[in-house]
Amino acid sequence: MPLEKVARVAIVIPRSAILDVSRALASLGLVHLAQDEGFTSDRRVAELLAGLRGLLVSLDTVARDLSLKEERPIVHQILRGRINEVRSFDVAAWEAFFESVREEARPIIEALSELFRRERELSATIESKRSLLASLAVLRELDYDLSRLKRSRYLRPLIVSVPKGAKEELLRSLSKAAHYTVYEDERVAVLLLIVLPSQEKELDRIMKVLGATPLPLEDLPEVNPSKLTQRLRLELSELERELQAVRRSIGEMAREKGEQILTLREACSLALGYLEKVARVGTLKYFGVLKAYVPLRMLDELKRKLTKGVIIVEDDRPKEAPTLMSNPRWAKAFELVTLAQGPPAHTEIDPTPIIAFIFPIFYGLMFADAGQGLILALAGLLVAQRLEPRYRRWGILLLTCGISATVGGLLTGEAFGLKLAELNFGPITEFLAAISVLRLETTEDIIRILALSVWMGALHLALAFLLDVQRSLKESKRVKALTLSLPTFLLYAVVGTLFATGLVASNYSFGLLLTNDASHPLLPLLSIGQVTRTIVLPLGIVLSLLIALSHLLSIKAGEEAGRLTDALILGPIEWFLRITEFLANSISYVRIGIMLLAHAVVMGIVATLYGYPAFLPLAVLGNIGVMLLEGLIVYVQALRLHVYEWFTKFYEGKGTIFQGLSLTGRRAKIIFVALAGAGK
């Protein structure tokens, strides 16, 4: 499907009108800003951006401190659905939006800031008292009032806890200090040190180096270790109760205000990100220049709304423009497959609608099971309806592939590994048996499935070569289209098909191809020998010569750069590689039939468990395991056939995705009251 055409425009506006213009652009949405110059110097915009940044930092800090999760677990969403709805912020101007968000957020931020401050204070106090209590634990039996030493004018008493290995080093460093070992074990030693006032600074330095912890006697209300321990325990109990109460309050705030905080934060983030893009309007003093890409169909609407600016259309067909994919709703989910290779450039075709038709067919044939396919379809419907909007495409993709797998199961006549023809479904039993045209019962059925896989691959590849012809013409490379792309398509779709069917009809005997008088399967009016002599060989030689000379002719026509001598070598190599790829790529599609056979074998093993009631739980687990594991493997195989076998023939995916201006997030949406009349 062709990509939507866009134009590159320059919008010249007074710097004072940036905020008004930004509101009008928001109503269009499909505007891709391209400028990357410095910020505007307009005071209103600068103040608004600074305010939004500060508010966003505050809300982000609160959300991080509360450990708020951006999204709920997927299982939670499936069970309870999408609880949070998108909230609309209906405002008249950017300043009004900022004021409303700030006023709403201020009491929440202030209340939580006070709670967090109190929590930090209590935690620090508790930690300090616990450390003090731990230091006093070794002194409980020392029922002596140390205040007597504290009252000394000429001596400084100190109780120090030091690692056992650093004790001797500490004592050597303080050779003039009196010391007494109060307690000692294999890890720590508690010392009573008595030093001169002049030694206090040196003592502090040594204790920091050796990791010693002092017990400051001067800060204690009393220095009787036994009595002080009892007092500290009472204080700790009260502080811990208060800390638990504060944390409960924080938890209640998180439950009650968490969603509101995340919504306000997202609203600020949307506004800030949008305004920072719009604010990049160049370096002119009084005027700004917005450079953007806009769909051609929206140019008139843009001119109608932007009455405060001058719109200059720089190019209505820019080749470097970002890619705006405009697929129908039924195909949008399969943009995921296209984007796995990359967005298309403007010289390429968007293959998404084709993928939306072919991808489910491949998936349904490889995972052909009516029962499991129906469960996958229901799971996809559940994901699309109950999960957040960003998962909707995956849900639709799963729903489509599940429906295709259900149809494939009906064609093979299987559901959960059971043969539908052997079950009694009343009046529809005969109908189910009649549509089971892909049954896997005999060797001939298996050969037919593998042959069908190859023919499907041939059609898929032929379509890719035909799209390559269109791409060459779209790039205005007519010589390449006539000498390389079109000959490749004809060599594969016509010559290769006639040759392959004739070879099969001749029992794979190359000698009979020229002399076989039997009617050709595709051209029954002619014999296999006549088709080979009059069509396959002459047309194959002509097309091969064109491919071999394609690089030479393209260089002479100016469509490629290079030397003619190199082209004479590259041409034959190109022909040889393409002939080799024809066979290799076609055989690669056999994986469709192989995956179908593998699924049938695995489910046949699971089906043997149905006859034993004791093994039914194991059979259920087997079905779940097959759906999870094989369902993913089949998706990867279908994706591989597109990315490695199909895309490589015509598609590069080197475009840049169109990033429209959006003021809608997962929780918040900014809507201006007077947006429709913003230009008035």
Mean pLDDT of 665-672: 84
Alpha carbon distance 183, 164 (integer Å): 11
Mean pLDDT of 15-30: 79
Alpha carbon distance 281, 453 (integer Å): 56
Give the Å distances, CA to CA, from 553 to 22, 285, 332, 565, 574.
Answer: 51, 54, 40, 12, 14
Selected residue with higher pLDDT from 382 and 80 = 382
Non-local (6+) Cβ contacts of 547 within 8 A are 483, 484, 487, 488, 491, 571, 574, 575, 578
| pLDDT at residue 511 in the model | 81
pLDDT at 185 over 80: no
Alpha carbon distance 218, 213 (integer Å): 15
67-86: b (≥16 Cβ within 10 Å) or e: eeeeeeeeeebeeeeeeeee
Mean pLDDT of 642-667: 88
pLDDT at 131 over 70: no
Selected residue with higher pLDDT from 427 and 542 = 542
Using a 10 angstrom Cβ sphere, with 0-12 exposed, 13-18 middle and 19 or more buried, the burial of residue 356 is buried
Q: Is the pTM of this model over 0.85?
A: no
Mean pLDDT of 154-166: 74
Mean pLDDT of 277-287: 73
| pLDDT at residue 679 in the model | 37
pLDDT at 256 over 60: yes
Sheet with 156-163: strands ordered across: 178-184, 188-195, 156-163, 213-215
Share of the chain above pLDDT 90, in %: 32
Q: Is 437 helix (H, G, I), strand (E, B) or coil?
A: coil
Alpha carbon distance 394, 336 (integer Å): 8
Q: In this predicted model, what pLDDT tens digit does every residue of 31-55 receive, in sequence order? A: 888 866 555 557 788 888 899 999 9
Selection from 439, 471, 446, 444 nearest residue 649 by Cα = 471
| pLDDT at residue 402 in the model | 95
Residue 11 in contact with residue 303, Cβ under 8 Å?
no
Selection from 219, 160, 227 nearest residue 188 by Cα = 160
Looking at 176-185, 223-232, 234-243, 572-581, which range is the least confident one?
223-232
With cut-offs at 50, 70 and 90, classify the pLDDT of residue 146.
low
Residue 131 in contact with residue 213, Cβ under 8 Å?
yes
Non-local (6+) Cβ contacts of 25 within 8 A are 31, 278, 290, 292, 306, 661
Query: What does the mean pLDDT of the chain come to?
Result: 83
| pLDDT at residue 677 in the model | 40
Q: In this predicted model, what pLDDT tens digit does every residue of 297-351 receive, in sequence order? A: 888 888 888 877 788 888 877 878 888 888 888 899 999 999 999 999 888 889 9
pLDDT at 464 over 80: yes
| pLDDT at residue 676 in the model | 41
Selected residue with higher pLDDT from 420 and 223 = 420
How many other C-beta atoms are found inside a 10 Å radius of the C-beta of residue 578?
A: 19
pLDDT at 507 over 70: yes
Selected residue with higher pLDDT from 593 and 285 = 593
Q: In this predicted model, what pLDDT tens digit does every residue of 630-650 receive, in sequence order? A: 999 999 999 999 999 999 999
Looking at 417-431, 434-448, 516-530, which range is the least confident one?
417-431
| pLDDT at residue 68 in the model | 86
| pLDDT at residue 409 in the model | 92
Q: In this predicted model, what pLDDT tens digit does every residue of 70-126 receive, in sequence order? A: 776 666 666 666 556 788 888 778 888 899 999 999 999 999 999 999 998 888 778
